[in-house]
Chains A and B, each alone.
Chain A
Amino acid sequence: MSTLAHVFEAAGLATVTISSTRPVAEKMHPPRVLHGEFPLGRPLGKPSDPAFQRDVLNRAFALLAEPSGPVLVDHPEVIEADEVAMSCAIPPRFDPDLPPAVDEARGLRKAYDRALAARGATSVGRVHDADAIPAALELFGKIAEGEAWNEVGLEGGNPMPIVHDVRAYYEEAGLELVNGPPPGGRASETWFYEETEAGKTIMAARRAMKAAEAPFPVWFYMAPGHRN
């Protein structure tokens, strides 16, 4: 973002940058920066909180009155990401003959469909649509049990974008099952990777791929970097 700020200003556009990593903004000194120490992925701070978002914008646009730059100011509120899993019901076992993650993904389908109908868009679909999520999880289960990751038949051959689809399917369905305001930053990530059978299966597949010396980027980016 700071690079684009320099490029745009040089082209004759006035910019205001919301920063999420203060040392980067300090080093790159774009002309006007409001730093928000908010959960990464939430530059306006709080979803479904128009008043807070408006406060962020008011503070950002106020920097346009500065006669010269660079200027960097901090939003006064710090919001920490929530590392505790969101409280979300997981479907009970329905078909004991299916792998747990496959059964679970099927059980979340109605919640996913409600979420899609309500929002009108989904981030599922990089490789698979919702219909294919259970089958993709079956393949990750095979990898976790020791089958070669590049021989189980992953569509496109790269697990990373398939994990994106599985995670998006789960997070969109999960948000539909949560009452009240949206959960804190990373709460749904923690729920997915630590509490769902899908997340546990993907993490087990990731560990198996690392042990089998799969290329680093292929297994590493299946989960956030701090997860083992």
Chain B
Amino acid sequence: MPTGDQAMREFASGLPVPEFAETAFTPPPALAEATVAIVTSAAIHPEHEEAFAAGDTSFRVIESAERGLKLGHWSPNFDRSGFAADLNVVYPIDRLEEMRAEGAIGAVAPRHISFAGNQPDDVSTLRLDSGPAAAELLKSDGVDVVLLTPV
């Protein structure tokens, strides 16, 4: 029997993926001058924010100082104990703060974003609606660089 991770990686590798004819490429500023945000697909959210529904295509906003986060992912097919022990293994906000204090990055964005990883296969809402809306929100905060972390 394959292990849980082997089974999931094999399954995910066979799923249809959206096609992008080209790879858009935005040159970043120097990292030491960049404002960095985290966007994760872990479906984490602050207690006071609405929970993710099954198949949810929307996103939640996480204020940079927030640490009391719930894991709202609907998939049972991944490890949850890592996040329960240390949210930085999914959402490395404390590491970014350390990098800012050392001058390795310019600033930590005031707001970060969480989506749910289990999206409908065509991800059309993500491409055409909630994804661009998230980009605009981040740009309005002066974000230059986005770190994407998957769950």
Contact = CB atoms under 8 A, between A and B. Distances in A.
A123 B70 contact: yes
A196 interface: no
A18 interface: yes
Contacts of B47: 121
Given A3-B126, A164-B76, A121 B70 contact: yes
B28 A28 contact: no
Interface of A: 1-21, 23-24, 27-31, 39-48, 50, 53-54, 57, 60-61, 64, 68-70, 80-81, 83, 86, 115, 119-123, 125-126, 160-161, 163-164, 167-168, 171-172, 174-175, 182-183, 185-189, 221-227
A175 B26 CA distance: 42
Given A41-B82, A46-B89, A182-B86, 13 more contacts: A2-B17, A4-B39, A8-B131, A9-B26, A14-B145, A28-B18, A28-B20, A40-B9, A81-B3, A121-B67, A160-B54, A161-B74, A224-B76
A203 B114 CA distance: 31
A135 to B, nearest CB: 21
A24 B15 CA distance: 9
Contacts of B42: 41
Return the 3 tightest CB-CB contacts between A and B, nearest first: A41-B78, A14-B28, A41-B79
A36 to B, nearest CB: 9
25 contacts: A1-B39, A6-B24, A8-B146, A14-B27, A14-B144, A15-B146, A21-B9, A31-B24, A41-B82, A41-B83, A44-B89, A53-B95, A57-B95, A57-B99, A61-B31, A81-B5, A120-B68, A121-B67, A123-B80, A160-B74, A167-B76, A171-B81, A185-B81, A188-B81, A226-B8
B127 A11 contact: no
